[in-house]
């Protein structure tokens, strides 16, 4: 039988994402509801190594559900990839008698949690929080919906100027090596082309289609590029297009970190609240070393090691929709 957890730590790790605060709130309040002591760990694994840990109460998470970023701050902590860093973290937790850990982050953060939980006797539960939505086993990750809506809002604005000037615009969105933000925001804004790392793109085909559109006086063209696409982003795509289309007015806009900020959408608040609640239920029930995901609107508990290995796939149907609707 799994040993009973009584004191838990919660941290946010990797890139911040809108909705992380809502998840922290759910973890703290559900934990307290079950009689657990809950400790906040600052700056992700960095704070774990440096013992930057404080006790949280129900009021510590008041008025944060609507706030972007993370009140616990975050970091991409290289030291935790090292055994020495993880050992120090364990010693800090042991001294404080913290016997369970909740990690809100992406696949890199889960990789750290997987190593930590297999080396030391501390159960870890992950909550999928990243704007990239690149974790296999969940339809949602906290922050993705807000990021996509931010991108859509920005692209809609760019379309106004693009349309007024009859220009081609190449807009680069985030996503690291995943194309979900590009795909969703591109379809939602009526992009003519969407370039994502999961699919090979043919620049020649894009040029031919732009020339064909020019012939029928369709001069406004929106190309959404994922930052991790095979060409290395929007600037390189622009260079290649300009080579073959010297007369075209082609502009680039890189949306950047604006996609990570802002107040979380309703969907992100909801999934963060559900995932936070269920992460605590996992600890209470002794379902350890999993991350909490949502598939077909049902909670799923996926072993941390599977989140590390798998990457999501883009459905063929989506690509067909892009092609047909872009004519």
Stretch that binds ligand F6P, among 159-167, 169-177, 217-225, 241-249 (CB under 6 A): 169-177
Q: Give the residue with the Cβ less far from ligand F6P, 21 or 30.
A: 21
CA 322/CA 198 separation, integer angstroms? 15
Selected binder of ligand F6P within 175, 233, 293, 312 (CB under 6 A): 175
- Residues of span 148-167 touching ligand F6P by CB under 6 A: none
Smallest separation (angstroms) from ligand F6P to the CB of 16: 8
Selected binder of ligand F6P within 65, 75, 104, 131 (CB under 6 A): 131
- Residues of span 190-219 touching ligand F6P by CB under 6 A: none
The token pair that represents 174 in the structure block: 């985030």
Among the listed residues 16, 99, 107, 132, the single catalytic one is 132
Binding mask 176-195 for ligand F6P (x = CB under 6 A): x-------------------
Residue 130 within binding range of ligand F6P, rule CB under 6 A: yes
Residue the block writes with tokens 């930057």: 52
Inter-residue contact 146 to 184 (CB < 8 Å): no
Size of the site for ligand F6P (CB under 6 A): 11
Q: Give the residue with the Cβ less far from ligand F6P, 89 or 259.
A: 259
Selected binder of ligand F6P within 9, 15, 85, 137 (CB under 6 A): 15
State the helix-helix crossing angle for 144-165 and 180-188, rounded to 10 degrees. Answer: 50
The token pair that represents 77 in the structure block: 């902590």
Which of helix, strand or coil describes residue 197?
coil
- Residues of span 266-285 touching ligand F6P by CB under 6 A: none
Phi, psi of 80 (to 5 degrees): -75, -15
Within 8 A by CB and 6+ apart from 60, the residues are 28, 40
Residue 135 within binding range of ligand F6P, rule CB under 6 A: no
Residue 174 within binding range of ligand F6P, rule CB under 6 A: yes
DSSP at 122: -
CA 197/CA 321 separation, integer angstroms? 18
Q: First CA to last CA across the chain, in angstroms?
A: 60
Q: Give the residue with the Cβ less far from ligand F6P, 18 or 106.
A: 106
4 — alpha (psi -120 to 50), left (phi > 0) or beta?
beta
> Among candidates 241, 251, 10, which has minimal Cα distance to 127?
10
Stretch that binds ligand F6P, among 156-164, 174-182, 272-280, 292-300 (CB under 6 A): 174-182
Residue 129 within binding range of ligand F6P, rule CB under 6 A: no
Inter-residue contact 103 to 13 (CB < 8 Å): yes
CA 225/CA 194 separation, integer angstroms? 6
Binding mask 244-263 for ligand F6P (x = CB under 6 A): ----------------x---
Told to judge if 177 belongs to the known catalytic residues of this protein, a careful annotator would answer no
- Residues of span 89-128 touching ligand F6P by CB under 6 A: 106
Task: Give the binding site for ligand F6P (CB under 6 A).
Answer: 15, 76, 106, 130-132, 174-176, 227, 260
Catalytic residues: 132
């Amino acid at each position: 039988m799994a040993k009973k957890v009584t004191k838990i730590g919660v941290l946010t790790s990797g890139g911040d994402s809108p909705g992380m605060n809502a998840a922290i709130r759910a973890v703290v309040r559900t934990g307290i509801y079950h009689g657990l002591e809950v400790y906040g760990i600052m700056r992700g694994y960095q704070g774990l190594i440096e013992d930057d840990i404080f006790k949280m109460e129900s009021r510590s998470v008041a008025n944060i559900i609507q706030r972007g970023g993370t009140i616990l701050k975050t970091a991409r902590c290289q030291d935790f990839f090292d055994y020495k860093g993880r050992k120090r973290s364990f010693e800090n937790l042991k001294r404080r008698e913290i016997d369970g850990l909740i990690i809100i982050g992406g696949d890199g953060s889960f990789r750290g949690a997987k190593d930590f939980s297999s080396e030391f006797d501390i159960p870890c539960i992950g909550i999928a929080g990243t704007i990239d939505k690149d974790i296999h086993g969940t339809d949602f990750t906290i922050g993705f919906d807000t990021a996509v809506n931010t991108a859509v809002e920005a692209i809609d604005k760019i379309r106004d100027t693009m349309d007024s000037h009859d220009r081609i615009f190449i807009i680069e969105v985030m996503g690291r090596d995943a194309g979900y933000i590009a795909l969703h925001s591109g379809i939602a804004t009526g992009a003519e082309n969407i370039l994502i790392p999961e699919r090979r793109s043919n620049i020649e085909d894009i040029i031919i289609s732009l020339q064909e559109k020019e012939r029928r006086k369709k001069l406004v063209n929106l190309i959404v590029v994922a930052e991790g696409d095979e060409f290395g982003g929007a600037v390189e795509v622009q260079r290649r297009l300009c080579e073959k289309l010297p007369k075209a007015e082609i502009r680039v806009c890189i949306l950047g970190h604006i996609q990570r900020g802002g107040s979380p959408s309703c969907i992100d608040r909801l999934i963060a609240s559900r995932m936070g609640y269920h992460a605590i239920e996992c600890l209470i029930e002794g379902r350890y070393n999993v991350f909490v995901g949502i598939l077909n609107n049902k909670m799923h508990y996926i072993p941390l090691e599977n989140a590390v290995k798998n990457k999501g796939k883009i459905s063929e149907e989506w690509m067909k929709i892009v092609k047909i609707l872009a004519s």
